[in-house]
Amino acid sequence: MRWLWQRAAPVNGHHRLAAPLSTSSLEVPHAEETVALPRHSSLGLRAALASLRANGAVPEDSSPRPERPLVLDLGPSVGANVEALASRGWRVQVSTLDLPLGSDGWGAEAQQLGSLLEEALGQPASPVSAPTLILFWDRVNYLDLKRLPLLVRALEPWCGNPTHALALVATHKEQPSQPGTFRIENEDTLSYRWMENGDPRIQSPRHRPAQLEKAMQPFRVVASWILRNGIQECLLRRDL
Amino acid sequence: MWKREEDPKPAPPVAPPTPYVTAPPPNPPAVSTRERAVLGSSLSLKGEISGAEDLLVQGRIEGRIELADHAVTIGSSGKITADVFAKAIVVEGEVRGNLFATEQILIRKAGNVHGNLTAPRVVLEDGCRFKGSVEMESPAGRKQQVPLPRAEPEARPAPPAALAAPAPAHAAAPAAATAAKS
């Protein structure tokens, strides 16, 4: 298995993975390999975390579970992300959308999509599970403008009021054929990588914010930032 | 006249270094002396496990594991469909169920968990497979938490485009997001 760096030069140079933290009771192995990952300053992440604080604040110790802000992470499980978010007292729901994103099976029927999502999310929709923040990462680049509304419609039962979302939209003409992995390095920085699978690049949908907003209604784009590395960060918001 | 201060007394001669002798620690670490039960890879069990010793699961378990003050390890060949309550939980195999630990949950690279994790500390190694929710339930730990480190703005992103919200202070002049696309 080999990781493929993003083709475009990263904005901020490279960053080295930190070794996993250790604790007194359990020995946590150090990283087997030190890998340099491209990264960028993420104003979208900063804004998304700020929205969490604004809407859910930092929960008190006595906060009952349903009142704590929920982060729904649609990307792969990344320990650093869980650590960064859950250690704030926020609930983190990791629900990797490894459904056939680009195939017909994904967008065929909304009803089927709902059940697929329920399976992916591991629980039926309920107010208790309403997320305050949805991390789409780059998943939006693997759905066309007809399929995106299906995804949003399927997610709606899980949405709270308000719900913010972070989407990383590809702006270059081509993109990796598979979604990438994004790691929260700190409040302002994301590192990222894509896996090579022999089918290196596909045409990028290059959703424009207006198109994205239309496809993802009732979410609306409240801010976006275009980065030199071919990523446009979009912060979306949905109010009831 | 002024009384002269007496000369300081010479320092006592330094004793020659004694050879450093390593003695066995009086109390070896508890972990090394702990008994650990093992459920072998050819065994399968349906029901509830409780007790007062650590447990390594290499086989299959369907039910519930409750070892409140001890560690439970789901080995690389272990497959369980169960809720687990323990002091520390390590997963190298497959788990479908909720994990509750009073100290820590560690999902190793080869681990595959479908369920919810609740512990003061949760560690997911890169490459592990996990679906579910994570809650770090530790009032004491949360009080000690420090803010995420803020990165120094080494470089700034391309001219940001704010559609509605005001641009961050260090961002360049706002421009229409769509206009910046080629």
Interface ipTM = 0.72
Nearest to A221 by CA among A207, A203, A206, A204: A207
Question: Measured between alpha carbons, how far is A42 from A226 in angstroms, rounded to an integer?
Answer: 10
Output the pLDDT for position B111: 96
Nearest to A206 by CA among A171, A231, A167, A168: A171
Query: Which residue has 């704010």 as its token pair?
Result: B162
Which of B91, B138, B163 should one mutate to test binding to chain A, selecting the residue with the greatest count of A CBs within 10 A? B163
Provide the β-strand partners of residue B123: B106
The mean pLDDT of chain B is: 72
- B131 chain-A contacts, CB cut-off 8 A: 77, 94-96, 120, 122
In Å, how far is A103's CA from the nearest CA of chain B? 22
Q: Would strands B99-107 and B79-91 be described as parallel, antiparallel, or unpaired?
A: parallel
Model confidence at B103: pLDDT above 90: yes
Model confidence at B85: pLDDT above 60: yes
Output the pLDDT for position B11: 52
Mean pLDDT computed over B145-153: 45
Cβ-defined contact of A77 to B129 (cutoff 8 Å): yes
Nearest by CB: A208 against B87, B114, B178: B178
Nearest by CB: A79 against B125, B139, B154: B125
| Contacts with B67 (C-beta within 8 Å, 6 or more apart), sequence order | B49, B50, B51, B52, B53, B54, B55, B85, B86, B87
Output the pLDDT for position A119: 67
Output the pLDDT for position A197: 56
Whether residue A189 contacts residue A158, with contact meaning beta carbons closer than 8 Å, is answered with no
Q: Along the 240 residues of chain A, how does pLDDT read in single tens digits?
A: 333 333 333 333 333 333 332 333 344 444 444 456 788 889 999 999 888 887 665 555 555 555 678 888 988 889 999 988 888 888 888 877 765 555 554 545 455 666 666 766 666 666 555 678 999 999 888 888 887 888 888 888 778 778 899 999 998 888 888 888 899 998 889 988 876 555 567 888 888 888 888 999 999 999 999 988 888 999 999 887
Nearest by CB: A82 against B124, B164, B171: B124
- The whole-model pTM stands at 0.70
Angle formed at CA A16 by CA A12 and CA A18, multiple of 5 degrees: 130
Cβ-defined contact of A208 to B177 (cutoff 8 Å): yes
Q: Which residue has the higher pLDDT, B174 or B144?
A: B144
